[in-house]
Amino acid sequence: MKITWLGHSAFRIETAKNTILIDPFLTGNPSANGVDVKEAARGVKHIILTHGHGDHVGDTIDLSKETGALVTGNADLVTWLGSRGVNRVDPTNTGGTVTYDGFTVTYVNALHSSAQMTEDGVSHSLGSANGVVLHFDDEPTLYHMGDTDIFSDMALINELHQPEIGIVPIGDRFTMGGAVAALASRRYFKFNKVIPCHYGSFPIIDQTADKFVAGMEGGTSEVIVATANEHFTV
């Protein structure tokens, strides 16, 4: 499996059978330095969304039209995207699992909100915020937490799914900060590798992963602090 961090919470996941984008906020992403949108979307078959905020939905509408990728997300969110020209959507919700060729996606809880203020000046509620667990046929299980605070039922997520790769928001203000994210990762999971995200993009959130790295010291997980457009194999 090859993973590329595209800045903020956006990731490209490549396996033998699939290329997947998670939360593809690329255009206008201050931390997507050096990321070419067309290259990031090359060969993409699936776009998976954790929730409806603009810094996660990002380029989904344009990319879905250009690539024909199937967009998976909370039913309220993908119905709204369908009304805005996204033709291939697959609705789900918290606790649900959808099955594709070579992998499944399970939507789990996250403590956050999900809405967008659109051009009509109205805030549209777009369902619940979620994390996503991806089980692959022949690759490690990956858990992208989406935007969230720590919560004790993370223990159940680990019991049910035993993810080996964790993608964890650490930026504070809108998600848990680095120290709390490290506590969540060490108390509730046994990640082989953990990747911090949702930092270093907007001025009002933490600019480095230092607090998370310090909180993970002495643990058994390998912390991967990536730079935008950096890829690594797991």
**Where do the structural domains in the chain lie, given as residue ranges?**
2-233
Output the average pLDDT for the chain.
97
Nearest to 51 by CA among 28, 31, 22, 89: 22
Give the chain's end-to-end CA distance (angstroms, integer).
6
The mean per-residue pLDDT over the stretch 220-234 comes to 95
Specify the pLDDT at position 120.
Answer: 79
Give the per-residue pLDDT at 187.
Answer: 98
Q: What is the pLDDT of residue 100?
A: 98
Residue 119 confidence (pLDDT): 78
Angle between helices 154-161 and 178-188 (to 10 degrees): 50
Whole-angstrom CA distances from 48 to 21, 117, 131, 168, 228 are 6, 21, 10, 16, 19
Residue 166's pLDDT is 98
Residue 176 sits at φ, ψ, to 5 deg, of -65, 150
- Whether the per-residue pLDDT at 33 is higher than 90: the answer is no
Pairing state of beta strands 123-125 and 115-117? antiparallel
For 105-131, the pLDDT digits (tens) are 999 999 999 999 877 788 889 999 999
139-198 per-position pLDDT tens digit: 999 999 999 999 999 999 999 999 999 999 999 999 999 999 999 999 999 999 999 999
- Which amino acid would we find at residue 126? L
* Token digits of residue 183: 């506590």
What is the 3 state secondary structure string of the chain?
CEEEECCCCCEEEECCCCEEEECCCCCCCCCCCCCCHHHHCCCCCEEECCCCCHHHHCCHHHHHHHHCCEEEEEHHHHHHHHCCCCCCEEEECCCCEEEECCEEEEEEECCCCCEEECCCCCEEECCCCEEEEEEECCCCCEEECCCCCCCCCHHHHHHHHCCCEEEEECECCCCCEHHHHHHHHHHHCCCCEEEEECCCCCCCCCCCCHHHHHHHCCCCCEECCCCCCCEEEC
Dihedral sign for Cα 183, 130, 18, 155, please: positive
2-233 carries CATH number 3.60.15.10: yes
Angle at 159 between CA 157 and CA 162, to 5 degrees: 80
